[in-house]
């Protein structure tokens, strides 16, 4: 395979930018390698050696991909605001106590599902993943509510439901990681927050959780408003290390806000597990991304070693 194609293929493996921009970037870099190789051929180098030298002069695919990321990773204000919109809608829902109105609940749920499907079918743009996260959150929330079923029914329901829920979440997360593992972490961001509020209020139990919901509605609204600000900042920041830091810091702050609304329904052990879950949901996409890359590299090596 020509060196140019090897280089651009390797570059695509490391690029984590919008697919609509990626094709233009790869095309420009390929043209640059082609022009440089022609100059080297004219200077007397053989064609294959000239192409390899031109790719080498451009730099390692990983380094070039990192540079391209910092150039093209910053989303527009329009993208940032649209990405933060689902968190903002939930914040408004509780700030204005519209959660009591079935019309508003169904309207917001329908909008989230429609936008998530649209974004998934149109190249997975950066604004999609917060919307997608709210489509996954009910999958886990239902599993939590199963523990409140009477008697042994809770164990039977959990045994049947939880594996199915994990398969759904894993498959969606895996597809999202192919776009960028940071977007997978961003997608999973609201899940521990929603679970924290469900557990803190004792939803599904005999506790007077509806009365508590009236009391902590401002805190719930604040927690999702903070998530909205987080998403705007995440989309606008260029550096990957800054995006990672934002996710960890804000997740910690929001979990602390949820703890303020707890009425001794969770306990220290429960909060410890919730904090651990929040950390895992931020880290697992990075670990899965690494495993997927290692598997793909081994597959490529085996295909090259196998006789043609």
Which one, of 198, 194, 191, lies nearest residue 282 by Cα? 191
Rg of the chain taking only CA atoms, in angstroms: 24
Q: Cα–Cα–Cα angle for 264, 265, 270, nearest 5°?
A: 100
Q: Cα–Cα–Cα angle for 96, 99, 102, nearest 5°?
A: 125
Q: Which residues contact 234 (CB under 8 A, 6 or more apart)?
A: 83, 186, 243, 246, 247
Tokens of 62: 């990983």
DSSP 60: -
Q: Residue 180 — φ and ψ, nearest 5°?
A: 180, 130
CB 105, CB 257: distance < 8 Å: no
CB 127, CB 79: distance < 8 Å: yes
Residue-range domain boundaries for the chain? 3-71, 75-293
Which one, of 107, 230, 104, 243, lies nearest residue 115 by Cα? 107
Alpha helices (H) in the chain, listed in sequence order: 3-14, 19-42, 47-58, 61-72, 77-95, 102-121, 128-145, 153-179, 181-188, 190-201, 209-236, 240-260, 267-305
pLDDT string in tens for the chain (308-residue length): 344 446 777 787 778 877 778 888 888 888 888 888 888 888 888 878 888 888 888 878 888 888 888 888 888 899 999 999 999 999 999 998 887 788 888 888 888 889 989 988 887 888 999 999 888 877 766 666 665 666 666 566 666 666 777 777 788 888 888 888 999 999 988 888 888 888 787 765 555 667 778 888 899 999 999 999 999 999 999 888 899 999 988 888 888 888 887 766 677 777 788 888 888 888 889 888 888 877 776 776 666 566 54
């Amino acid at each position: 395979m020509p060196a140019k194609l090897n280089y651009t293929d390797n570059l695509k493996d490391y690029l984590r930018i919008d697919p609509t921009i990626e094709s233009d970037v790869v095309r420009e870099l390929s043209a640059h390698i082609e022009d440089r190789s022609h100059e080297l051929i004219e200077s007397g180098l053989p064609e294959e050696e000239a192409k390899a030298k031109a790719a080498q002069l451009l730099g390692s695919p990983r380094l070039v991909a990192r540079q391209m990321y910092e150039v093209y990773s910053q989303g527009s204000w329009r993208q940032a605001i649209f990405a933060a919109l689902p968190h903002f809608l939930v914040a408004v829902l509780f700030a204005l106590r519209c959660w009591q109105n079935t019309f508003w609940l169904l309207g917001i749920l329908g909008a989230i599902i429609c936008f998530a499907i649209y974004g998934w079918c149109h190249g997975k743009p950066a604004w999609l993943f917060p919307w997608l996260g709210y489509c996954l959150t009910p999958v886990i929330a239902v599993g939590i509510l199963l523990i409140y079923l009477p008697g042994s029914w809770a164990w039977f329901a959990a045994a049947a439901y939880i594996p199915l829920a994990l398969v759904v979440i894993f498959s969606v997360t895996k597809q999202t990681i192919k776009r960028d593992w940071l977007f997978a972490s961003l997608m999973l961001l609201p899940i521990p927050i929603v679970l924290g509020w469900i557990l803190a209020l004792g939803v599904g139990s005999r506790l007077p959780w509806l009365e508590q919901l009236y009391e902590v509605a401002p805190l719930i609204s604040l927690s999702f408003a903070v998530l909205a600000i987080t998403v705007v900042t995440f989309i606008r920041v260029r550096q990957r290390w800054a995006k990672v830091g934002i996710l960890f810091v804000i997740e910690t702050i929001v979990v602390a806000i949820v703890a303020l609304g707890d009425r001794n329904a969770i306990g220290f052990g429960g909060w410890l597990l919730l904090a651990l879950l929040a950390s895992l949901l931020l880290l697992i996409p990075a670990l899965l991304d690494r495993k997927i890359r290692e598997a793909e590299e081994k597959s490529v090596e085996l295909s090259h070693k196998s006789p043609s």
